[in-house]
Structure 1
Amino acid sequence: MVTEQKQSAGEWGQNSGQPQQTTTFSWLPACVNRKLLPFKLHYFLFIAGEAGVGPYIAVVGRQNGIGPATMAVIFAVMPLTAVVFKPICGFIIDKTRNVTAVILVLQVLCTLFYGIAFFCPSAISNGAVFKGHLGCPLGEFDVTGSSGSEECASGSSVSLYCTLSSGKHAWEAMEARLVSEKKVMLTNASNACNDLREDVLLANGSLGFPSEVRCSCESALYRNSNFWIYTVSAVLGFALAAALNNVGDAAVSNALGSDINAFGRQRLFGTLSYGMASPLIGYLVDISSSEGFTNYKPCFYVFAACMALDMVLILCLPRMRIADVSVNFFGDIGKLLSSPEILLFTVFTFLAGSMIGFLNSFETWFLEDLGTPTYLIGLTKTVQCFGAEPVLFFLSTYILERIGYFYSYSVAFALFACKALGYSFLRNVWGSLAVNIVGGAVFPMVYAAMAVFAKKRARPGTAASMVCILGAMYDGLGSAAGSLIGGTSVDRIGARQTFLYLGCLSVASTVLCALCYLMLRFTTVHKLDVTREQTKTSTLQGGCCCDATKLSLKSDIDMLQLRLPKN
Structure 2
Amino acid sequence: MVPNAETDEPPTAKDGTNRSGNKSRLINPPLVLLKMTMFLIFGATSSLIPYLTIHMQSIGLTVGEIATVYLTLLFTTCLSPPISGYIVDRFGRYKPVLLVCLVLNIVAHHSLDLIPRRQPFGLVTVQPQLSLGAADNGTISMNQPCNQAECPTMAVFQQKLQRTCFPEIKNLSRFEVIFTQSNESNRSCGMINLEQCSVDPWKNDSVPLINIQCPLSNEYDRTFWYYLLIRFFSTTMLTATVTITDPMALTMIEQHGGDFGREKLFSSIGMAIFTPSTGLLIDYFSEGYQSTNYKPAFYIYDILLGMSLISVLFLPIGKKLPSENIMKHLFKILQHPHVLVFIFFLFFLGSFWGFIESYLFVIMKEMGSPNYLLGLTYTVGTVTSIPMMYLTGPITKKVGHVNLLVVAFFAHALRILGYSFIYNPFWCFPIELNEAISCYFMWVVATTYCAVLAPNNLVATLIGVSGMIHFCLGKGIGSFVGGFMIASFGTRMAFRYMGYTAVLGGVLYKFLHMIWLKKYDKHQAVETEEHAIKTIKESETITVKCDHF
Does the alignment pair 1:300 with 2:326?
no
Deviation string, structure 1 residues 473-497 (Cα, Å, up to 9, x no partner): 2232112211111111111111111
Count of residues paired in the alignment: 453
Question: Which residue pairs with 1:110 in the alignment?
Answer: 105
Determine the C-alpha separation between the residues in 1 that align with 2:272 and 2:533.
36
Contact persistence 1:79–1:239 (CA under 8 A): no
> 1:154 is paired with a residue of what secondary structure?
coil
Question: Which residue pairs with 1:353 in the alignment?
Answer: 350
Contact persistence 2:404–2:445 (CA under 8 A): yes
Question: Which residue pairs with 2:207 in the alignment?
Answer: none
Question: Which residue pairs with 1:432 in the alignment?
Answer: 428
Determine the C-alpha separation between the residues in 2 that align with 1:279 and 1:450.
29
Question: Which residue pairs with 1:423 in the alignment?
Answer: 419
Question: Which residue pairs with 1:100 in the alignment?
Answer: 95
Determine the C-alpha separation between the residues in 2 that align with 1:244 and 1:454.
26
Question: Which residue pairs with 1:153 in the alignment?
Answer: 146
Determine the C-alpha separation between the residues in 1 that align with 2:356 and 2:337.
29
Determine the C-alpha separation between the residues in 2 that align with 1:471 and 1:243.
15
State how 1:68-107 maps to structure 2 within 5 Å: 68-93=63-88, 97-107=92-102
Determine the C-alpha separation between the residues in 2 that align with 1:7 and 1:275.
23
Distance 1:338 1:371, change over 3 A: same
Return the letter of the residue paired with 2:282. Answer: V
Does the alignment pair 1:277 with 2:277?
no
Distance 1:462 1:89, change over 3 A: farther
> 2:119 is paired with a residue of what secondary structure?
helix
Instruction: Say which of 367, 372, 376 aligns to 1:375.
Output: 372
Moved more, 105-114 or 227-236: 105-114
State how 1:119-134 maps to structure 2 within 5 Å: 119-124=114-119, 128-129=122-123
Return the letter of the residue paired with 1:473. Answer: I
Pairwise CA distance, 1:369: 1.0
Pairwise CA distance, 1:380: 2.8
Deviation string, structure 1 residues 425-463 (Cα, Å, up to 9, x no partner): 102122122222333442212343456678997998996
Percent of residue pairs identical = 22
Contact persistence 1:357–1:483 (CA under 8 A): yes
Instruction: Say which of 284, 288, 295 aligns to 2:285.
Output: 288
Question: Which residue pairs with 1:67 in the alignment?
Answer: 62
Determine the C-alpha separation between the residues in 1 that align with 2:117 and 2:24.
47
Question: Which residue pairs with 1:170 in the alignment?
Answer: none
State how 1:122-521 maps to structure 2 within 5 Å: 122-124=117-119, 128-129=122-123, 153-156=146-149, 215-217=215-217, 220-222=218-220, 224-252=221-249, 263-289=260-286, 290-326=288-324, 331-340=328-337, 342-386=339-383, 388-396=384-392, 398-399=394-395, 406-449=402-445, 469-516=465-512
Distance 1:425 1:329, change over 3 A: closer
Contact persistence 2:115–2:227 (CA under 8 A): yes
Does the alignment pair 1:53 with 2:48?
yes
Deviation string, structure 1 residues 89-136 (Cα, Å, up to 9, x no partner): 3455567653334433332323222111122111227x52489xxxxx
Moved more, 400-409 or 413-422: 400-409
Determine the C-alpha separation between the residues in 2 that align with 1:97 and 1:339.
35
Distance 1:418 1:527, change over 3 A: closer
Distance 1:40 1:513, change over 3 A: farther
Pairwise CA distance, 1:398: 5.0
Deviation string, structure 1 residues 357-407 (Cα, Å, up to 9, x no partner): 111211111111111111222233333333x22222344455556656544
Normalising by structure 1, what TM-score?
0.66
Name structure 1 gaps, 5 residues minimum: 11-18, 132-143, 159-179, 184-211, 535-546, 556-567
Deviation string, structure 1 residues 332-367 (Cα, Å, up to 9, x no partner): 444345455654443233212211111121111111
Determine the C-alpha separation between the residues in 1 that align with 2:9 and 2:403.
28
Return the letter of the residue paired with 1:128. Answer: G
Return the letter of the residue paired with 2:480. Answer: L
Return the letter of the residue paired with 1:296. Answer: Y
Distance 1:514 1:325, change over 3 A: same
Contact persistence 2:447–2:532 (CA under 8 A): no
Pairwise CA distance, 1:296: 0.3
Distance 1:368 1:94, change over 3 A: same
Determine the C-alpha separation between the residues in 2 that align with 1:515 and 1:405.
14
> 1:155 is paired with a residue of what secondary structure?
coil
Determine the C-alpha separation between the residues in 2 that align with 1:241 and 1:284.
23
Aligned-residue CA RMSD (Å): 4.7
Deviation string, structure 1 residues 406-439 (Cα, Å, up to 9, x no partner): 4443332221111112111102122122222333
Distance 1:4 1:322, change over 3 A: same
Distance 1:317 1:441, change over 3 A: same
Name structure 2 gaps, 5 residues minimum: 12-17, 126-139, 152-177, 182-211, 539-549
Determine the C-alpha separation between the residues in 2 that align with 1:233 and 1:459.
42
Return the letter of the residue paired with 2:381. Answer: Q
Question: Which residue pairs with 1:5 in the alignment?
Answer: 6
> 1:323 is paired with a residue of what secondary structure?
coil
Normalising by structure 2, what TM-score?
0.68
> 1:128 is paired with a residue of what secondary structure?
strand
Contact persistence 2:6–2:258 (CA under 8 A): no
Return the letter of the residue paired with 2:414. Answer: C
